[in-house]
Amino acid sequence: MIRKFIICMFLQSAVLYAVGQPKYKDVYETIKTMKDYEAFQTLFNYQSATTSKDFVNVNGYYQMGLISQKMMRQYDPFLQSQNTAQCIADATTYLSLALHFFDE
């Protein structure tokens, strides 16, 4: 699963670089049909490419936090504690970023 995640991250980064930056509306429509880890990576790449001093898309951070929470619930915390802990950290980080930029 980690290998798929890394490959997906690399391919999406290459596509974003080659094609240009899509609009959030288009990204949001595509993530509805994706698996959780693919949707997370797509939003991560979108946020990485669009974050600047002038513009931050709060919705992207919020969606990433929700996806992290959903992925966390799919793991067994006793057998997959590292994966669970990573998802908790991701959810905390991205929901906190959404709240921070929402307040600005």
pLDDT in tens, 39-63: 999 999 888 887 665 567 888 899 9
**∠ CA(14), CA(19), CA(22), 5° rounding?**
105
CA pair distance 60, 40, nearest whole angstrom: 9
Where are the domains positioned within the chain? 2-103
Structure tokens at 87: 């998802």
pTM: predicted TM-score of the whole model, two decimal places: 0.74
Q: Using CA of residue 59, residue 11, residue 84, residue 50, what is the dihedral sign?
A: negative
User: Per-residue pLDDT for 35 more than 90?
Assistant: yes
Q: Is 32 helix (H, G, I), strand (E, B) or coil?
A: coil
Q: Please say whether the beta carbons of 92 and 63 come within 8 A.
A: no
Per-residue pLDDT tens over the stretch 57-96: 888 899 999 999 999 999 999 999 999 999 999 999 999 9
